[in-house]
Amino acid sequence: MRQVKSDKVKGLSILLSGWLFALMGFLATLNIQFKWLTEESIHAFIIFFIATISLGVNVYAVWKNTFVSKKAQRQNEELHKKNLK
């Protein structure tokens, strides 16, 4: 399951970087150039995108697998009452 999520993020980042490179090439054919739209800035954006998605997945995993939320705390209390934990 973890590999599937990793492949999904990798696929999304490849699609996004491909789209940005295509946009850069299309704008260049129209002789429209932005100083900030370079290969380096696209690579930096993709790294930021991957890091943000990874952080989001990890935060969600920690949130779901610990007793942080109110609902999870109630569930934990019930587990202790029933000596299941």
What pLDDT, in 10s, does the model give residues 5-32?
677 778 888 889 999 999 999 999 898 8
Q: Is the pLDDT of residue 39 over 80?
A: yes
Q: Is the pLDDT of residue 48 over 90?
A: yes
What pLDDT, on a 0 to 100 scale, did the predictor assign at position 36? Answer: 87
Torsion angles phi and psi, residue 51, rounded to 5: -65, -40
What pLDDT, on a 0 to 100 scale, did the predictor assign at position 10? Answer: 82
Q: Is the pLDDT of residue 85 over 80?
A: no
**Three-state secondary structure call for residue 53:** helix
* CA-angle at 77, arms to 71 and 83, nearest 5°: 140
Amino acid at 59: V
Is the pTM higher than 0.75? The answer reads no
| C-alpha dist (Å) from residue 43 to 47, 48, 59 | 6, 9, 24
